Structures are given as C-alpha cells and as structure tokens.
A and B are shown apart, each in its own frame.
Chain A
C-alpha cells in the first residue's frame, strides 16, 4: 500500500509540478500570444483600408436607362441576395424612378448605401457593429450586430435591409445571416483585391457606363476629375453627411 501510495504520491508530485510549470508558462505567454493575435486581427481588419484613400462612386443619371438593371442584377449575383418582391426581402441596390411633378422631367437612379463620412447608421449603432473603414466604406460587423434596427431607422436613404428568415447559399465573401442588418459593401472584397464593385463593372459592360468608381482623395482619379469638371449632388445634402456616392444630372 505504502509503496503504491508513495508511487502515487511521486506521480502526483510530478503532475503537480508539470501543471505548475505549464500554468506559469501559459501565464507568461498568454498576454504576448493574445497581443500577437490581436495585432494580426487588427491588421487583417484594416488590410487595404487606409485614410489616404476614400472610395466613392459617381453616377451619371443622364446615361442611366430606366430599362437597365444590370447594376442590380450584378450586385445580387455577386453578393447573394435575392429580391422576390416581398417587403421583407433585402435590396442592397435598387433603381428609383425620380420625376419632377411640376415639369415631368424623369430620371432613373441607382440607389444604394451612400457610404457617408458622417454616417447616421454608425452614429446610432449601440454596439459599434455599424462602422466606417478608414477608406470610407461603411460596413456591418455581423459578429456584434444584435439586430436592433436602429441604423435602419436612422438611414436617410433606406439603404439597409434586415434579414427576417433563415438563408442559404450565402457567398463566402459576403456574410449574411438571419437577425442582422446588411447593406451595400461597395463589394469590399473586390475593392481590396484591386477591382471595381460588381455594379460598376456590369454598368460598363452591359449598361451605358453611368457609374465611375475611384478614390475621392486622388486628384488624378477619373472620379475626382469628373467631379471637378461637372456639377454633381449628394442626396439629402441638407443633412451634411458627406456622402461617398455622388450623382450627376439630378
């Protein structure tokens, strides 16, 4: 018995000392490992996003045809949302027919998240799930979106949608899920890979090339030169939101 006991005791002692050392090592390393993980996460989160750039869109409504929905179709296909005509369906981009009732002058206007510098959705979000990247793209962090919909109440453009039911067939690059809010991301994975958003590409390919995407901070960019050369407007400019999306011909 005693031998067994002694043997057990020895084993216990070894185990204890091993666990003690392991604990100390963990305690010593954990903060460092956590910091590295945090730094990597932070680096990933901001990869491609820097305040030296501000991504924006310019839409020439004179070129945009009422019958053309190439931008909507492309956005839907790339990001995996589908409008089946129900009021609960998500619509990241839509075509709005805008008519002046006093003159009858009418334009067809693609409308999506305006990626405001002073975004009301970002201001009102209680958890910070609605956020604006350094390069001006406004996004929703689905991990911390609790689905309160205050951002939808605050958005002046009705650019956001709430997911009211289980989804399937989501795209790996466009996370979507029941109970959270979503909107146009300016096709952020494409932008980070050096491409233009799907709507812009489709408009150039199938439409009249009414959409120009680019860096609003770069004086040499197409969008910046077009903005400098022709009059453009921000929707609800009275709200002083400094939108990243501008319109010509409205």
Chain B
C-alpha cells in the first residue's frame, strides 16, 4: 500500500499563470461591472420592477448551492466513514469555501447599496430567511475553515468526524435556507412549495459534485498527478444518482403544481409555451442536467470513459445553470395573480409575461464571481497541501478496502 501524501501544486508554469491571468481578467471585468452598477444604477442591467432578480442571482445562487454540495465529498469521508473519499476531503472543503465566497460576492455587489453592507451586518430581522442566511453563509465559511484545519492538522484528526458532522448538518440547514427563499414566497405561483428546500439540497449534491469532479480532473491533469479510474468512476456513479435525484424532485414539484387548477397557467408557461423558459427547462434542466449525463455515465459505450465523466459533469453544470435561470427568472416572468381568474392589464405590466434580457454588466458580475471562486481554488492549491500527490487506484483502493470503519479517526 502506497502512502498518501498531500502536497501543494507547483504553480510556477506558464499554464498556471495564464489561467490565473485569465481568471483575474474575468474578476476585474466583474468588479468593473459592479462599480458601474453601483455608480449609474441597475438601469444598466436587464433587471426591472417586474424581474427584480436577474443574472447575478442565477450565478450567485448556483455557486452557493454548489458550495454546500461540494462539501459532501468530505462529509462522505468523515461523517459516513467511506475511506475512499478521504483523500478528496481537503479539496472538497476548499471548494466549499471558494464557491460560497464567489457566490456571496456576487450577491453583495448586486445590492442596490452595496456600501450599506454594514447595515446588513448590524440590523437583523429574524423573521427574514435572508437574515438567517447571512449567519448561515458566513457561519458555513467559518465551519468549513475549521473543518479543513482539523483535517489538515494531524494532531486534530481525531475531531474530524465531530467537526465534519457539524459541517454536514450546517450545510443541510444552509441549503434549506436557500431553497426556502423561494419556497416561502407565497405570492408567486411558480414558487410557494415546501419541496423547494429538499429540492435545493439535492440540486446542491449534484451541482457541487459536478464542479468538484471537473476541478479534480483539471487539477490532476494540470499537475500530472495520477487520478485512478476507480476514484473517478465512484464519483461519476454518485453524480449520476444525484442528477437523477434532481430530475425526480423536478417531477414531483411540477406534478404537484399541475394537479391544481390554479397553477395551470404558470405550469403551461414553464413547461409548454413559455418560450426560452420552456426550452431551458426541457433542453437545459432535464436534457443537459440529467438525461445526457445519465446516458454518458451508464451507457455501455461510455461508462468507463474518463472523457465522458468530464463531459457529463460539465453537462450537469450547464443544466444546473439553466435550471437556476428557469427557477429565478422564469418564476418572475410569470405575472402575479393579484386577481385570480381575471384578465388584467395596466401600465405596470400586470397580466403579461414579463420581459427580461440579461445585460453585459450583470453577466460580467456573475462570471466575475465564478472567476473569484476559481482563483481562490487555484491559489489555495498552490499555497496549501489540499491535493494528494497521487490518487492512483493502488494508493486509494487499499485504504478503501481496508478500513472504512476507521475512517472517522484515521489521518487524512
């Protein structure tokens, strides 16, 4: 059995710095966009008084949801005692923090008055799920950071299970809080379902693992570190289950809505005649988010293909972003039912499907947040030993076969 060693990546090559510069350029574009949005106002975005949350929220919520899901790999190792996941746990923690910081940065910079952020940190209305989320998000970064410390400091490894359990419960509550932002919105027909909370949890499993797989593959490839087939196929199978889980929750959500006559119009809009939103649902969320990855992962022709794993994970991410767009924008595009059963019209766009077209600045801000997350991951890998020198099967497999029971307390 080969020993498992963690080591920083070199990060001195042209490839590393080219990637860093590219990401920094995206981040700079995002910050510039945020400055213009703050200076000129949201008039330069596609957001209006009808569609009040736009592209920044699509990216932000995706990243925040993916962040909690990315931590799952560590949880599987520490909390559920699966030793095969242990070598991946540190990277999982790094991704969780990086993705959350990226998402939160977008959210904060999109505020009407980002300069008043201090108000959000000093004035709380505890009846607001948003206020709770401020604690849940910042707390998640702290808990994940502490979890990483416990995993990386040999003397503290014994606490990994305890801290990991706290982090796992925290992340479940966090994603419940994120899903509840929409689930609690009784005024809007496409939302207002308790299933939003567990659906967001399963979405986080799927999106977070997809990002994790791609980062892992890229990091191993970029640093020429071995990544065993067993490890990759194990992650792939898990992602397949999660992607199918998202599909199941979408099915349950829409069947519940379809069963009630009051939601017939909203459901027809989202699933049948809603233009871009219908296309994004079927071709984005369903096809790219679930069907394509499932076929790539389990068809006999591609099931052992490493490239298929990468493409499948990428497909989950694209489908996930499409689903986020569908939920956040599509949910607002459908008009409010202020006079149920009546036909309405007004100067304030009552009764009509609300138009929304994302503008360059808001896309730049969203992509800037993604770039920030990736920059944190990139420099995190360079500065601290998050990644094992080898994830070859002969390094990982004996540990997996040998001592699942000891996982909780074995050294990382």
Contacts and interface: CB of A to CB of B under 8 A. Distances in A.
Contact of A180 (B43, B47, B113, B123): B113
How big is the B interface, by class? 35 or more
A239 B186 contact: yes
Nearest to A120: B187
A99 B117 CA distance: 44
A171 interface: no
Contacts of A7: none
B41 A123 contact: no
Given A96-B345, A155-B187, A165-B41, A146 B111 contact: yes
Contacts of A85: 347
A101 interface: yes
Contacts of A144: 116, 119, 123
B125 A126 contact: yes
Interface string B23-37: 000000000000000
Contact of A101 (B40, B130, B343): B343
A144 B180 CA distance: 24
Interface stretch (A10-18, A30-38, A87-95): A87-95
B22 interface: no
Contacts of B347: 83, 85, 91, 94-95
Contacts of B50: 87, 158
A156 B342 contact: no
B120 to A, nearest CB: 5
Contacts of A124: 127-130, 184
Contacts of A156: 186-187, 336, 338
Contact of B112 (A83, A96, A145, A154): A145
A91 B348 contact: yes
Nearest to B123: A127
Nearest to B355: A87
A88 B49 contact: yes
Given A96-B350, A111-B346, A153-B185, A146 B124 contact: no
Given A96-B345, A147-B111, A178-B112, A153 B40 contact: no
Given A85-B347, A89-B49, A145-B113, A126 B124 contact: yes
Contact of B134 (A126, A165, A178): A126
Contacts of A152: 49, 52
Main secondary structure of the interface of A (DSSP, over half): loop
Given A95-B346, A146-B119, A161 B49 contact: yes
Contact of A162 (B52, B120, B339): B52
Given A88-B43, A161-B49, A162-B42, A128 B344 contact: no
Contacts of A98: 339, 342-344
B43 A162 contact: no
Contacts of B343: 98-101
A148 B346 contact: no
A173 interface: no
A26 interface: no
A125 interface: yes
A203 to B, nearest CB: 17
Contacts of A150: 128, 130, 181
A51 interface: no
Nearest to B188: A153
B113 A236 contact: no
B48 interface: yes
A166 interface: yes
A126 B131 CA distance: 4
A167 B348 CA distance: 20
Contacts of A149: 52-53, 112
Contacts of B49: 87-91, 152, 158, 160-162
Contacts of A235: 338-339
A97 interface: yes
Contacts of A162: 42, 47, 49, 52, 112
A97 B111 contact: no
Contacts of B125: 122, 125-128
A126 B120 contact: yes
B111 A87 contact: no
A156 B48 CA distance: 17
A179 B111 contact: yes
Given A98-B342, A120-B186, 11 more contacts: A87-B349, A94-B347, A96-B338, A96-B345, A128-B123, A146-B111, A154-B184, A157-B336, A166-B40, A179-B111, A239-B187
12 contacts: A94-B348, A111-B350, A124-B128, A126-B124, A126-B134, A146-B111, A156-B186, A158-B338, A158-B348, A163-B112, A164-B47, A179-B111
Q: Which 3 A-B pairs have the closest CB atoms?
A: A147-B112, A179-B112, A156-B187
